Structure 1
């Protein structure tokens, strides 16, 4: 008889730079922030299911993402010292508990407080995911998969979840977040170790070009704020334009799925033609499509512009996150990029909630368009510098 100790251990983990690993990492980096991908459903669900005002619904979700920004910032400071896998297990468990508690809350104040805490925990988890993704080969491709997962499943969410609220209440939305976290928990054991790279002249803090990184972070903030400020209220915009939910929900779901094409474009293109052209062109295309939402009363314009925004959003943010990650290989600047992204995702709906009043959607469209144009100008220089460095 052979002793079981003589048998080789079976390695069940996927290759650290395999496509499947990138998918698993995409789930890890999405789990703490998946509510952003279904934010139109959450905002409309709070309004329809709990009777919240436009302002309160927006501020609850904004508090969630501001918490995420704080969590992401904490991870920037601690990411080099943490055991990322153990931390991820713990944070996912806490997220599930908070989402279950949220199902039983019905006042704006209590939800703002609890969702803020949820955001802090989720932001830490996303920051860990970003840092680990930065340790893979070709982080741009990893971020492309991230957006593929977010837009693919987010599309399902905005298509079907609003219809569940009248029947099951707001609990249906929070249970979808619980389900996502549970799936991510099942994926964690199959990921490789992704050890921290040894310090070198290429990864020290002193070698990072902080002025260029600052511009990249500002561009990331502006892009996310512009898009999410409008996207959080896109269902209301469609309703005010005279469209009904039977058209709006499927349209937004399909638009998110078309956004997957933007993610696939990043995966296939990567940095073969550099970053400047694909990044600046995609941001400006997002700005044009956003402005055309002034004419959303036409169903085909509402549908086409949302599809264009979905594809260009996924494409451009993949490059912006990859741009931040490219400034070092330890994952620290990637985590900073996650912080800037979350600050934008939180600030957009916060500003929108304060200026929308009852139905001032035209002002939201104009603010988003201007912010995107400024974003393109800010992103140009850091992208150009990194292209010349290659």
Structure 2
């Protein structure tokens, strides 16, 4: 059995500051994606955009968010993390401020790409520092919990709060939220990744290639499956004859279940039962997809949606923690690219399958992706020490 490179133990006193940094920034940075349902309508109205143009704008933002991984290969181990965070936060603030003043769609796309590239660069720091705490599962749990909580707040408050305003007001609010984040930057160790050469020989060395690829494949397949199914939950419900109001209520309850499971993973953190929780989460996710086959009634759809959301938000912290066990500073950086790629590929493939072969084929594809991700996780876990 191959033993994975062990991550260095973080000083106990530094974890609380890192957790604070992760919580605040993950909530605010992902707001740019979570506000998409609110921003889309205002953009279409203000710029007279077609649905294709609106979709292209959000795809460009998400793509830039993920592609921030590539330049991070060059700067992640060279820059002071505090300095890098201040720099990228300034770009996020300025990008959002400028976005509010633009009246040309082409320039708006450019501004949103630059803003998302900076936000994605901070996300790389978040993921990397999460994997280097003494309790990565807890750190990744916080990463998920605060995104979901902010998402629920946004969808509840933003539509009413900005009903009579233009899109500029939303972008300027995002700029203000990002500016507030800088107060937590001093809580992290800026030199955490700039280790001495002797230390890098062990903690920063490259993990075994096969294990590295298998771990990244697990994340990619997981996100392909979850984004492919969750993106079409409303359509699956409508196809089964379930009303829009009932569907909205079910998805709201599922969102609460997702926050609860991510919070549970955060509280439990790294435990001897981590592997068991991860596997149970995958089983729950697979069963929930299976429940959607055919034409589910309201009760079956509700159970499937709630279990699906509960399962994937329980899986995610433990899945990312498993990746951090693989070793190497750049593992979590590359994971950010896999997340973005999965988010992009899942809806496209699922939508194509649903349109050409029906929802049954789409769900079968997602079910295979879930089980393939689980298989990859089992392979990685066999090669890492508990």
Task: Give the TM interval when normalised to the shorter protein.
Answer: 0.7 to 0.9
How far 1:340 sits from its partner (Å)?
1.6
Q: Which residue of 2 aligns with 1:203?
A: 203
Q: Which residue of 2 aligns with 1:339?
A: 337
Q: Which residue of 2 aligns with 1:116?
A: 113
> CA-atom RMSD, angstroms?
3.7
Establish whether residue 219 from structure 1 lines up as the match of residue 214 from structure 2.
no
Q: For 1:100 and 1:242, how far apart are their aligned partners in 2? A: 44
How far 1:221 sits from its partner (Å)?
1.1
How far 1:376 sits from its partner (Å)?
1.5
Q: Is the 8 A contact 2:294 2:360 kept in 1?
A: no
How far 1:100 sits from its partner (Å)?
3.7
Question: Which stretch shifts more, 48-57 or 246-255?
Answer: 48-57
Establish whether residue 272 from structure 1 lines up as the match of residue 271 from structure 2.
yes
Q: For 2:57 and 2:303, how far apart are their aligned partners in 1? A: 30
- Among 120, 123, 128, which residue is 1:126 paired with? 123
1:61–1:298 distance in 2 versus 1, CA, 3 Å: farther
Question: Which stretch shifts more, 33-42 or 74-83?
Answer: 33-42
Q: Is the 8 A contact 1:62 1:349 kept in 2?
A: no
Q: Which residue of 2 aligns with 1:34?
A: 31
- Among 180, 184, 189, which residue is 1:183 paired with? 180
Q: For 1:200 and 1:100, how far apart are their aligned partners in 2? A: 40
1:270–1:16 distance in 2 versus 1, CA, 3 Å: same
Q: Which residue of 2 aligns with 1:374?
A: 372
Aligned ranges for residues 1-390 of structure 1 at < 5 Å?
Answer: 15-18=13-16, 21-39=18-36, 55-103=52-100, 112-162=109-159, 167-168=164-165, 170-171=167-168, 174-175=171-172, 177-193=174-190, 195-196=192-193, 197-198=195-196, 199-206=199-206, 208-234=207-233, 248-249=247-248, 251-273=250-272, 275-293=274-292, 298-328=297-327, 331-351=329-349, 364-386=362-384, 389-390=385-386
1:352–1:162 distance in 2 versus 1, CA, 3 Å: farther
Question: Which stretch shifts more, 141-150 or 333-342?
Answer: 333-342
Q: Which runs of 5+ in 1 are unaligned?
A: 1-13
How far 1:366 sits from its partner (Å)?
4.2
Q: For 1:276 and 1:111, how far apart are their aligned partners in 2? A: 45
Q: Is the 8 A contact 2:140 2:321 kept in 1?
A: yes
Question: Which stretch shifts more, 95-104 or 152-161?
Answer: 95-104
1:368–1:182 distance in 2 versus 1, CA, 3 Å: farther
Q: Is the 8 A contact 1:95 1:121 kept in 2?
A: yes
Q: Which runs of 5+ in 2 are unaligned?
A: 1-11
Q: For 2:238 and 2:45, how far apart are their aligned partners in 1? A: 13
Q: For 1:254 and 1:70, how far apart are their aligned partners in 2? A: 33
1:264–1:166 distance in 2 versus 1, CA, 3 Å: closer
Q: For 1:333 and 1:235, how far apart are their aligned partners in 2? A: 35
Q: Is the 8 A contact 2:239 2:295 kept in 1?
A: no
Q: For 1:45 and 1:362, how far apart are their aligned partners in 2? A: 35
SS at match of 2:383: helix
Q: For 1:358 and 1:72, how far apart are their aligned partners in 2? A: 34
Q: Is the 8 A contact 1:225 1:344 kept in 2?
A: yes
1:43–1:383 distance in 2 versus 1, CA, 3 Å: farther
How far 1:117 sits from its partner (Å)?
2.9
How far 1:41 sits from its partner (Å)?
5.1
How far 1:239 sits from its partner (Å)?
5.9
Q: Is the 8 A contact 1:159 1:252 kept in 2?
A: no
1:321–1:272 distance in 2 versus 1, CA, 3 Å: same
Q: For 2:243 and 2:297, how far apart are their aligned partners in 1? A: 12
How far 1:380 sits from its partner (Å)?
1.5
- TM-score between the two structures when normalised by the length of structure 2: 0.79
Q: For 1:106 and 1:289, how far apart are their aligned partners in 2? A: 44
Q: For 1:131 and 1:114, how far apart are their aligned partners in 2? A: 26
Instruction: Kindly provide the CA deviation profile for residues 56-87 of structure 1, in whole angstroms up to 9, marking residues without a partner as x.
Output: 54443222221122102321332111111121
